[in-house]
Amino acid sequence: MHILCRLYPWSGTRVGGRETFLILFSCVSDFWSDRTPLHEAAYQGRLLQIRSLIVQGFHVDTLTMDRVSPLHEACLGGHYACAKFLLDNGANRSASIHTPHLLASPVHEAAKKGHRECLELLLSYGADIDMELPVVGTPLYSACMARAAACVRLLLHSGAAVRIGCGQDSPLHAAVRGGGPNVVDILLDFGADECCRNAEGKTPLDLSSANSAVRVGLQKKGTRCGHSRELHKPI
């Protein structure tokens, strides 16, 4: 697709309008050609169709070229019954995590989309609650970035490490970036370290906007870090 885009740029030079469209359309079709009916059924939440396709011989862990599994699709869509059926039929709960694509696992997908029931299901089937992936971080980190408070609470009640996020970035840093004051409160109640510094040397308080609900929440809980130089900058 990248080669075709270079040969036929969108700059207005015509290479035969209709013909160009057909070439590009064909390329897009090839890109999606490895997405199976099982993936589509899982994403749409069609349980009966999933059952039928597996009976017909579709493998429960069929992967696309980008290593997306049907379980990924079910968790993205928040389809609990479909996810449970796939797991009951042997789906890999940690599918496609060790790949060059650094794709989030199903538990990350459920956490960041706020699909609490799917998340609880995956954890009950033994998904790694503190699985940390490059860029993606842990499921808790993903949920904090997305302000998915119900999933944050579930993960913490289920034993997720409150201080493990993405490299030196903590879940609390993620919650501040995401702008979720309720998520910040939950993390602090579970012992999050408001003084921890990320790779840039910033604390969560440093990342918060002046007069924001997030900053008020951090200060209300009694930050022990002292005043950051950032707080004294003119606004």
> What pTM was computed for the model?
0.78
Evaluate whether residue 213 is within a structural domain: yes
Query: Does 151 lie in the same domain as 96?
Result: no
Separation in Å, CA 35 to CA 30, 39, 44, 60, 167: 10, 6, 13, 13, 32
Query: Does 166 lie in the same domain as 109?
Result: no
User: How many domains, in total, are found in the chain?
Assistant: 2
- Residue by residue, pLDDT tens for the chain (235 residues) are 333 332 223 333 343 444 433 333 333 333 344 789 999 999 999 999 999 999 999 999 988 887 889 999 999 999 999 999 999 999 988 764 445 445 678 999 999 999 999 999 999 999 999 999 888 999 999 999 999 999 999 999 999 999 999 999 999 999 999 998 999 999 999 999 999 999 999 999 999 988 899 998 898 875 566 544 444 343 3
Structure tokens at 80: 């609990």
Coil, strand or helix at 137: strand
* CATH number, position 204: 1.25.40.20
Query: Does 158 lie in the same domain as 96?
Result: no
Evaluate whether residue 178 is within a structural domain: yes
Evaluate whether residue 235 is within a structural domain: no
